Structure 1
């Protein structure tokens, strides 16, 4: 399945890493720049996204008032526009220690002179109590408007594509800040966000735009309770849309979201790929969590990242054709273990096999996972980059064991993400034959 993904999430060939005995993740260049084509449909009749779904587990709040921009600028990891107009954008709220509290989407909303913010509804404490302590004397109003808005995503348009040139600026460590993303927005016909494209149903009923976290993510926005996006194909089914289709969509594009992937008070911005996705700004001035975040960018090392994985059953139900029920998916935050592979001593041509160690070394954590329509299982995992390299070089295998009755064991196959910024790899020359 992964061989046909839009982002070509394929295994990195071991031959690319076999030129030396040691490969460092540290890089030597300051590029890259990635461009994406733009081909916007000329009429609203063709502005249809064939795939759409509500985004599960999201709540919405409104932040308004005279000091709303100044207030949000001081507590979010991204730059907030000076007015309540413009395109939606991705962002984050950080703890003073630099760890992530919320990954959010922010929508300027002129009709209410406010910013609408969607966030994971399962987070405790919720967003309003978490930021209310920073209001002090600021002229700001905070309101839960989840009863007024639904969060939707739409994708798979064959003609409408994101426009712009994405470029990243690498720090001394392994973080890469996305720069120039403000210039990447090309208006979708019939969407909100500026004078060039007012929504056909009005900003009172819908607000949204490109989801710029990764190429191919499509449209994301807020729709009045019970409605559907104006750019989504009309539903032909009497059944409600399946939110798991969105989960599969973002996993296939290597995009983490919500508390299962970005664990509050545990996840770090660079490890969660917020630097790649534009969810944190290393050039911005003071904000909560800024000091440690920028220090990591300039002097730290990112040893772990969230990567897409394919899960292959190694035991019980999914490998048994006669089984009546599939193997339960691994619980989020379950340990992923790396077992070294050693060649058989009997023959130099014998296939490699796992070392005798029963559990292996800890490599990270499995995060969200979902089954594809074809029956494959894909997911995201927070993994040590050094050990991912070991798997790609054929030096080890990763696995995760489920918990509870009927749980089995899964082989974890890390995948490379095509849209990630690339840097030249520094090769430390070791002994060669």
Structure 2
């Protein structure tokens, strides 16, 4: 089966909002505004950046691991500790997105939970690979007398894949019979997650990519993943877009961390959100569209996580914090009223068209570096308010 190609029009927008098509523009093959003398940019020397994502492809995700939770009390236990609704007795054909919170409503782990096909109370939980052992210990610590087993799936047993493009083994809103996976509804066109035996790849006739290409796709869409981006015991679910990505059910009963989460929902005040950002040189014009250029290297690997985003040539409080990136794009936790024209209840509304922002950092053993940074609000944020 060969999925049909996806035609993505070249659209440029003039506001902080971005559409799903223009966020995949590549500037290969056309003139750019990057001057040859730009301090941090090079279009001739090879870089370590991944290529632009193809319109259809698939990638193995070694950054994600699986934990098996199975037994008669597993569903009831999970219902009390995750933000999504996993009502006992409800049949699930595919996976769903959720988060584990601590008592202060801070994110412990973002997860995707899959029915593994072995029974109504048998689940696979996908979690950040760096956190998998701590995550399993956390569940075991709080299970008390509940009757279920917890097992970390060895890397040599099962693996996680992401597929994107037309088709890809889907049947309407559900996976086809026999698949263990998840129609990735966190953002439009995110594709599909599949759980396969280790050593086996999806049987699709499209380009296989490195996980770094999948990461570029996520950044362009503004989808954070894992505790390098959703900082453990620090990130709040709404600021991390867990609500917009369908991971919070506000009608379910009590769960750990519900109090502040539901209060934030009812007050309607979320002042900061994780947004896709684009970096550009200090002597360059402000970009009008979110564009990934694999040939531009701005040294993002040297920017420490949570580096402050400051106003350019203006005083004022921090406009946000840098989270992660590659090449000339990344993710930032951005103060909406400061960096975008989104209106937040109770805020002064300090953003003005043309305002610019910067990152300043000192790489190890080097001199102070500066780049400008612009935030973009994905169109799917507006559709899910």
Q: Is the 8 A contact 1:369 1:379 kept in 2?
A: yes
Q: 2: CA distance between counterparts of 1:7 and 1:416?
A: 18
CA 1:124–1:218 in 2, change beyond 3 Å: closer, same or farther? closer
Corresponding residue to 2:161 among 144, 152, 156: 152
Q: Is the 8 A contact 2:16 2:375 kept in 1?
A: no
Q: 1: CA distance between counterparts of 2:12 and 2:240?
A: 18
The answer for the alignment partner of 1:334 in structure 2 is 307
Q: Is the 8 A contact 1:92 1:104 kept in 2?
A: yes
CA 1:149–1:125 in 2, change beyond 3 Å: closer, same or farther? closer
CA 1:13–1:253 in 2, change beyond 3 Å: closer, same or farther? closer
Q: Mapping of 1:183-198 within 5 angstroms?
A: 186-187=173-174, 191=175, 197-198=176-177
Q: 2: CA distance between counterparts of 1:160 and 1:308?
A: 26
The Cα offsets for residues 314-340 of structure 1, whole Å up to 9 and x where unpaired, read as 38xxxxxxxx9943212322111113x
Deviation at 1:421, TM superposition (A): 2.8
Corresponding residue SS for 2:319? strand
Corresponding residue SS for 1:247? helix
The Cα offsets for residues 108-150 of structure 1, whole Å up to 9 and x where unpaired, read as 0123651101111223872111122221111111000132111
CA 1:6–1:311 in 2, change beyond 3 Å: closer, same or farther? farther
Q: Which runs of 5+ in 2 are unaligned?
A: 1-6, 18-54, 284-294, 342-349
Q: 2: CA distance between counterparts of 1:162 and 1:54?
A: 18
1:401 matched to 2:360? The reply is yes
Q: 1: CA distance between counterparts of 2:168 and 2:240?
A: 28
CA 1:423–1:9 in 2, change beyond 3 Å: closer, same or farther? farther
The answer for the alignment partner of 1:108 in structure 2 is 115
Deviation at 1:10, TM superposition (A): 4.3
Corresponding residue SS for 2:321? strand
The answer for the alignment partner of 2:220 in structure 1 is 252
Corresponding residue to 1:263 among 231, 249, 258: 231
Select between 124-133 and 71-80 the one with higher mean Cα deviation: 124-133
Corresponding residue to 1:383 among 300, 317, 334: 334
Deviation at 1:9, TM superposition (A): 8.7
Corresponding residue SS for 1:130? helix
Deviation at 1:221, TM superposition (A): 1.9
Deviation at 1:83, TM superposition (A): 5.6
1:415 matched to 2:376? The reply is yes
Deviation at 1:56, TM superposition (A): 4.1
Q: 2: CA distance between counterparts of 1:312 and 1:161?
A: 39
Q: 2: CA distance between counterparts of 1:272 and 1:326?
A: 27
Q: Is the 8 A contact 2:216 2:326 kept in 1?
A: yes
Deviation at 1:300, TM superposition (A): 5.4
CA 1:422–1:219 in 2, change beyond 3 Å: closer, same or farther? closer
Deviation at 1:78, TM superposition (A): 0.6
CA 1:337–1:231 in 2, change beyond 3 Å: closer, same or farther? same
Corresponding residue to 2:127 among 119, 143, 161: 119
Deviation at 1:6, TM superposition (A): 7.9
Corresponding residue SS for 2:381? coil
Query: Over alpha carbons, which structure has the higher Rg?
Result: 1
Corresponding residue SS for 1:154? strand
Q: Is the 8 A contact 2:305 2:323 kept in 1?
A: yes
CA 1:106–1:9 in 2, change beyond 3 Å: closer, same or farther? farther
Q: 2: CA distance between counterparts of 1:68 and 1:8?
A: 48
Q: Mapping of 1:186-335 within 5 angstroms?
A: 186-187=173-174, 191=175, 197-199=176-178, 207-231=180-204, 233=206, 235=208, 241-299=209-267, 301-314=269-282, 326-329=297-300, 330-335=303-308
Aligned residues: 317
Q: Is the 8 A contact 2:59 2:211 kept in 1?
A: yes
The answer for the alignment partner of 1:321 in structure 2 is none
Corresponding residue to 2:326 among 370, 378, 398: 370
1:61 matched to 2:63? The reply is no
Q: 2: CA distance between counterparts of 1:259 and 1:5?
A: 31
The answer for the alignment partner of 1:93 in structure 2 is 100
Corresponding residue SS for 2:161? strand
Q: 1: CA distance between counterparts of 2:274 and 2:233?
A: 16
Corresponding residue to 1:76 among 73, 82, 107: 82
CA 1:393–1:336 in 2, change beyond 3 Å: closer, same or farther? same
| TM-score where L is the length of structure 2 | 0.74
Q: Is the 8 A contact 2:340 2:375 kept in 1?
A: no
Corresponding residue SS for 1:275? coil
